[in-house]
Structure 1
Amino acid sequence: MAVVERVPAAATSFGSADRLGRANTNSSGERVMDARAVAAAGVFPIVLEKIPEPLAREITSELSIPTIGISASVACDGQILVVDDMLGLFSSFRPTFVKRYAEFAATADIAIETYAQDVIERRFPATEHEFGDSPKAAQQEPQR
């Protein structure tokens, strides 16, 4: 599997990869050439990450191998959406390309806080959560 991005991940060391990618007008031709090269090398499939829709559509139509989009286009053969993003497990991190199907961050925060309080107050683990024979089974004598 190969990843074709708008700009290489190393670009983040210079600042925002999004800004650099939008400013790089030559990147479209380079991305098409990258996709062709990795497909010719036998890669299967190619992930198109943060590729503008027209370019993702062009690459997908030119290649005989599947393309998988991450913030790319419905023209890709498949899609990736990180489950933590999809379920809304983080309230402070909300990329524009993520569609939230749920908002579990608040529920998770409450559950974690409740768990921590149960541990502090020694309500967890209770006997029924401990590993091993149940207290009732341990007290019974073996049958002969």
Structure 2
Amino acid sequence: MGKEKEIMYEKFMDLQQQVHQQNQKKIKVGLKVNILLPLVFLVISFISDRSKLVFLVLWIVSLFGIAFYLLYVEYMDFELQEQLKELGIMEKEAEAQALIGEEVIQSIDEINNAKNEMVKDIKDLRKEIKTDIQSMGDKLKR
């Protein structure tokens, strides 16, 4: 009986991992569609002589549809992980696995770091320009 439980547990965990990986793929596809679809509507609106309002409405509706789809996928994956915690299969203290993956999280961190560095550089440049303007003003006053 113990061997059967182990096999069932392993099959269940494999199934959960497969569902989680499928959800990750769905999120990646949804994000790509979220980027490409507005570009398609933009190109069509410029190429066609029809009303731009129609394409604007289609674009907005599609963005809402994609957003709801992504939220649904994320929510279903979160609920699956919560059920695993309730059944005692997953540790209650464990954080939910991110659907977007560690690479994307690292990329977001790198982007934030680069943004912070750019803001710092801009502030430094602003200070330099301000001091240059003040020194030029002082020279003109003389």
TM-score by length of 2: 0.22
- Judging by fraction of residues, say which structure has more helix: 2
Q: Where is the strand percentage greater, Structure 1 or Structure 2?
A: 1
What is the TM-score normalised by the length of structure 1? 0.22
